[in-house]
Amino acid sequence: MYIPTFEDMQAAQKRVEPYVHRTPVLTSEFLNGLTGAELFFKCENFQKAGAFKVRGACNAVFGLADDMLEKGVATHSSGNHALSLSYAAGRRGIPCHVVMPRTAPQAKKDAVRGYGGIITECEPSTSSREAVFAQVQAETGAEFVHPYNDPRVIAGQGTCSAELIEQVSDLDAVIAPIGGGGMISGTCLTLSNLAPEVKIYAAEPEQADDAYRSFKAGHIIADDAPETVADGLKVPLKDLTWHFVQNHVTDILTASEAEIVDAMKLIWKRMKIVMEPSSAVPLAVILKNKQTFAGKRVGVIITGGNVDLDALPWMEK
């Protein structure tokens, strides 16, 4: 296990800079009033390919050795990493093989193909995904870029909080959603070096709370195929991301499905931005734990904006 270093994150900053946006930070007087905190939303929904994952994907793809370029890259992903790796591979002009659950939103499948990614479908469980992927990798010989348990990916995701602390001074805390833990690990990597006084919180759906239970138990607990509206957060922690969570996260807080959907709708309505259910989990837990965040300056990572507009969660009820 190679744990990415602060120098890896700095190298990632130079490597990805031509291919990713420096996303804006938005604020909302209304949401500050509602929470009692000062919230600074880092809008990775405006990022290339619609999510922060393009940072890690570009770092992996543009760091790839020349002798791997012909075979390209491969991955499995619940969506945004697939988009992002396809985008990055397209920019470098190399093939990208993606194993994706057949239940992933149609909008994400279309977008992967739009960026030139080659999709092989699997069942919506961790076990099926890993089996199908092994086959694809054996056939293509492509370089595996794991969606989160990869030092190149974690170093890339760390560039997001490096920007955030340049854009907003004196943060007391940063909060991001946690699924596999790639964004949280990158945040830990960067902030533990550049701003160790900033507390790091992870926000997770109650219905996919394996990171929360892992954190409390002191070892990784992995569920196969949890169900949640926050479809980017169904995957379990792995050794690398567990390393960062265990050593640098202050707490993991959870929210119910209804709380996540309400928070999502509130952000759409008041901030006029389109973002995914996964990205609403931080605001949902802030609203549920006001005493923890009141009076604090809190960076909130809006992780992505790739949502199926024909299947919004408040329409399905």
For residue 294 the two structure tokens come to 């009141």
Beta bridge pairs of residue 177: 203
CA atoms within 13 A on the CB side of 1: 9
Q: Name which of 95, 91, 117, 111 is nearest 18 in CA terms.
A: 91
As a whole number of angstroms, the longest Cα–Cα distance in the chain is 55
Residue whose CB is less far from a copy of itself, 24 or 141: 24
269 binds a copy of itself (CB under 8 A): yes
Q: Considering only 64-72, 83-91, 206-214, 270-278, which stretch makes contact with a copy of itself by CB under 8 A? A: 270-278
> What is each CA distance from 217 to 88, 160, 188, 221, in whole angstroms?
37, 29, 20, 8
What is the nearest approach in angstroms of a copy of itself to the Cβ of residue 306?
A: 9
Binding mask 167-196 for a copy of itself (x = CB under 8 A): ------------------------------
b or e along 235-262 (b: 16 or more beta carbons within 10 Å of the residue's beta carbon)? bbbbebbbbbbeebbebbbbbebebbbb
> Taking the CB of residue 228, how many other CB atoms lie within 10 A of it?
21
Q: Name which of 66, 52, 74, 47 is nearest 141 in CA terms.
A: 74
Residue whose CB is less far from a copy of itself, 107 or 194: 107
Identified binder of a copy of itself from the candidate list 3, 25, 34, 107, rule CB under 8 A: 107
303 binds a copy of itself (CB under 8 A): no
Q: How far apart are CA 39 and CA 171, in angstroms?
A: 10
What is the nearest approach in angstroms of a copy of itself to the Cβ of residue 89?
A: 18
* SS3 of residue 240 by DSSP: helix
Identified binder of a copy of itself from the candidate list 5, 14, 22, 24, rule CB under 8 A: 24
Residue whose CB is less far from a copy of itself, 168 or 312: 312
> Taking the CB of residue 284, how many other CB atoms lie within 10 A of it?
29
What is the nearest approach in angstroms of a copy of itself to the Cβ of residue 47?
A: 9
Q: Considering only 60-68, 81-89, 143-151, 305-313, which stretch makes contact with a copy of itself by CB under 8 A? A: 305-313
268 binds a copy of itself (CB under 8 A): yes
Binding mask 25-54 for a copy of itself (x = CB under 8 A): -x------------------xx---x----
What is the nearest approach in angstroms of a copy of itself to the Cβ of residue 272?
A: 4
126 binds a copy of itself (CB under 8 A): no
Residue ranges that bind a copy of itself, judged by CB under 8 A: 24, 26, 45-46, 50, 107, 265, 268-269, 272-275, 305, 309-310, 312, 314-315
